[in-house]
Amino acid sequence: SCPVDAIVETRIFEYHGENRGDLYYTKDKLLAIGDKYEEQIALDRAADAKYR
């Protein structure tokens, strides 16, 4: 099973890659995306909290 909040849906759903390998997301790549958009993700989760 997955730990609570290990997978978080965001408003980011479009990705672009120049090469096929650019679209393979490793754990490190996904964590980097989370770090980059951490503030926006937190704001979105706070706004959505009343529906959880």
- pLDDT tens per residue across all 52 residues of the chain: 677 777 888 888 888 999 989 999 998 998 999 999 999 999 999 999 999 8
pTM for the model stands at: 0.69
Kindly calculate the radius of gyration of the chain based on its CA atoms and give it in whole angstroms.
13
**Which pLDDT value is given to residue 1?**
62
> What DSSP letter does each residue of 25-48 carry, written as one string?
--HHHHHHHHHHTHHHHHHHHHHH
CB 10 within 8 A of CB 44: yes
User: Each residue of 19-33: b (16+ CB within 10 Å) or e?
Assistant: eeeeeeeeeeeeeee
